[in-house]
């Protein structure tokens, strides 16, 4: 009898999940496990603590939804907390298999987990489930990956064919219950969503597929994505796919093919192209992570501090930034949005990151870890590489400095966005002299 452990990581879905498909189809008995960990990274001099409530809520909901969706295969999701090796040792001894299927992840902790399991003689069969372009299809070796996104994009657009989606054949196992010492339960609910939240979505695969359907087919928002994507208010200015992608509630391959179907049936325009273009940024940063490794968490990043920024550690100033008390309306409104909802627009993220680095002269890794704690869509590569980029230590050919006064005049001319989060009337105080 062939037995395998299926290890869910950042691929909390059953649809288009190649490693899950193979685990189910190639084995007679499968046990599904998920190791939950709410901890987040604190750089030197800062105690960030556990993940914020909105990020945690979304994770718990995604786990619950996966538990439900696995039932149709007769599979139970066993949730654990604790040391990864001890957990796997317990599963191995009770289930009697050391064959482990799962997704290959980027990130220091994630890769460390893989190394520790491999050195404890688990047979890891890991797939590139979370990539749009699997590693072996990349037209570069990781070492040769270019620093500049445009070079990467052009070559990828020309040479790479995205794989087809996969579907698991009908198979039903018999649910088996084990008594595991490290097993824990999953609870979701109890956290109220702010009425002004731009991200009021529930976590999980079911919600992800519903969002994909509404953003493309039901409401045709994708048609105008390029014009609306710099918006600040509401659910519809951008796709809001990032949180679902960060936990793998949906695969980038599913999104890609759905956009291609939309282009064939409804319209192919610069907006449909641009959404794929942005998803390629996500992909690029995953590879930048694989190339840069743990340097992406260091103050000098992958490229060195070529613009000679200060990056000082000043806790009082940092606290003003994080609490939305800098006195700069646009920056404060964005930080308050993040604190109250777990979300911030791309425009907002660029501005608050630039402000932290260029106006407050602070250590960018502190800002990145604050984002890691709170962002519902936190993704190790996208977060840390974007922060590196804005801080001038990443994939830079240019020193990015955003002027929040000019930016708010361009993107929040009416002041409505700032009024929502600052709860005050916005007058003329942002006019630059
Ligand atoms: C300082 C900073 C930190 C960031 N941290 C994260 C993070 O932790 N997780 C995360 O997913 N994104 C991060 N981003 C990128 C971007 O802000 C978010 O992906 C986007 O705002 C999410 O909203 P959306 O899904 O509606 O995006 P859309 O505009 O609809 O874009 C579609 C998809 O493209 C991808 N994408 C878009 N812009 C970027 C980008 N600049 N880099 C990488 N992928 C991108 C995302 O997967 C996104 O879901 C960060 C950007 C900055 C400037």
Tell me the average confidence (pLDDT) per consecutive run of 10 residues in the chain, 433 residues long.
Answer: 97 98 97 96 88 97 97 96 97 96 95 97 97 96 94 96 95 90 85 96 98 98 98 98 98 98 98 98 97 95 95 97 98 98 98 98 97 98 97 88 97 97 76 41
- Residue whose Cα lies nearest atom 50 of ligand 1: it is 383
Regarding the beta carbon of 229 and ligand 1, being less than 6 Å apart is answered yes
Report the separation in Å between the CA atom of 87 and the middle of ligand 1, taken as the mean of its atom positions.
33
What pLDDT is recorded for position 275?
A: 98
The position carrying tokens 């974007």 is: 386
Which pLDDT does position 428 carry in this prediction?
A: 52
In our burial notation (b when 16+ CB lie closer than 10 A, e otherwise), range 83-115 reads ebeebbbbbbeebebbbbbbbbbbbeeebebbe
Domain boundaries, the chain: 3-130, 205-293, 297-422
Q: Which fold has domain 297-422?
A: DNA Cyclobutane Dipyrimidine Photolyase, subunit A; domain 3 (1.10.579)
How many angstroms separate the alpha carbon of residue 212 from the centre of ligand 1?
16
Q: Is the CB of 274 under 6 A from ligand 1?
A: no
State whether the beta carbon of 78 lies less than 6 angstroms from ligand 1: no
Q: Which residues pair with 126 in a beta bridge?
A: 102
Q: Which atom of ligand 1 is nearest to the CA of 352?
A: 1
| pLDDT on residue 176 | 87
281 lines ligand 1 (CB under 6 A): yes
pLDDT at 59: 97
Say how far apart CA 296 and CA 289 lie, in whole Å: 7
The count of residues in the chain is: 433
3 three-class SS: strand
Question: Among residues 400, 392, 406, which one has the least CA distance to residue 331?
Answer: 406
Judge if the beta carbon of residue 366 lies within 6 A of ligand 1. Answer: no
- 198 close to 417: Cβ distance less than 8 angstroms: no
Q: In what order do the strands lie in the sheet with 77-80?
A: 77-80, 29-35, 3-8, 99-103, 123-127
What letter does residue 307 receive in the DSSP assignment?
T
| Structure confidence by residue, pLDDT tens digits, 85-141 | 999 999 999 999 999 999 999 999 999 999 999 999 999 999 999 999 999 999 999
Quickly tell me which residue has 């001894």 as its tokens: 93
Pick from 153, 382, 400 the residue to mutate for probing ligand 1's pocket: most ligand atoms within 8 Å of its CB: 382
To test the pocket of ligand 1, the residue of 278, 338, 355 to mutate (highest count of ligand atoms within 8 Å of its CB) is 278
CATH tag, 205-293: 1.25.40.80
* Overall fold of domain 3-130: Rossmann fold (3.40.50)
Which residue in this structure is represented by tokens 């994909």? 212
- Rounded CA separation 10/21 (Å): 16
Burial class of residue 190, CB neighbours in 10 A (0-12, 13-18, 19+) = exposed
Distance CA 148, CA 138 (A): 15
Q: What residue's CA is closest to ligand 1, atom 31?
A: 278
Give per-residue pLDDT as tens, 396-428: 778 999 999 999 999 999 999 999 999 888 875
């Amino acid at each position: 009898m062939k037995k395998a452990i299926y290890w869910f990581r950042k691929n909390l879905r059953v649809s288009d999940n190649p490693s899950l498909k193979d685990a189910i189809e190639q084995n007679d008995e499968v046990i599904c496990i998920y190791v939950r960990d709410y901890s987040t990274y604190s750089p030197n001099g800062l105690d960030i603590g556990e993940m914020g409530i909105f990020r945690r809520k979304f994770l718990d909901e995604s786990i619950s939804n996966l538990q439900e969706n696995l039932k149709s295969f007769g599979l139970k999701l066993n949730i654990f907390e604790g040391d990864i090796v001890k957990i796997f040792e317990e599963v191995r001894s009770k289930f009697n298999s050391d064959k482990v299927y799962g997704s290959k992840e980027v990130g220091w902790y994630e890769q460390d987990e893989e190394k520790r399991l491999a050195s404890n003689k688990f047979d890891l069969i890991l797939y590139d489930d979370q990539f749009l372009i699997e590693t072996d299809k990349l037209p570069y070796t990781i070492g040769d990956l270019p620093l500049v996104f445009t070079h990467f994009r052009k070559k990828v657009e020309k040479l790479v064919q995205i794989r087809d989606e996969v579907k698991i054949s009908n198979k039903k196992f018999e649910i088996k219950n084990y008594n595991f010492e490290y097993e824990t339960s999953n609870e979701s609910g109890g956290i109220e969503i702010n009425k002004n939240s731009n991200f009021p979505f529930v976590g999980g695969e079911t919600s992800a597929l519903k969002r994909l359907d509404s953003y493309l087919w039901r409401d045709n928002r994708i048609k105008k994505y390029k014009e609306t994507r710099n918006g600040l208010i509401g659910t519809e200015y951008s796709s809001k796919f990032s949180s679902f992608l960060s936990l793998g509630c949906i695969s980038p391959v599913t999104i890609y093919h759905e956009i291609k179907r939309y282009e064939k049936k409804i319209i192919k325009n610069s907006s449909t192209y641009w959404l794929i273009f942005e998803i390629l940024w996500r992909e690029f940063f995953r590879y930048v992570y694989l190339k840069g490794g743990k340097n992406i968490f260091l103050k000098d990043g992958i490229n060195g501090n070529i613009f000679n920024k200060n990056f000082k550690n000043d806790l009082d100033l940092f606290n003003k930034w994080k609490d939305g008390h800098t006195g700069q309306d646009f920056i404060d409104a964005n930080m308050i949005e993040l604190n109250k909802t777990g979300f911030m627009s791309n425009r907002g993220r660029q501005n608050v990151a630039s402000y932290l680095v260029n106006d407050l002269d602070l250590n960018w890794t502190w800002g990145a870890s604050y984002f890691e704690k709170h962002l519902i869509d936190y993704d190790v590569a996208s977060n840390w590489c974007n922060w590196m980029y804005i801080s001038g230590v990443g994939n830079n050919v240019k020193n990015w400095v955003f002027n929040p006064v000019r930016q708010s005049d361009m993107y929040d001319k009416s002041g409505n966005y700032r009024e929502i989060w600052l709860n005050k009337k916005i007058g003329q105080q942002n006019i630059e002299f």
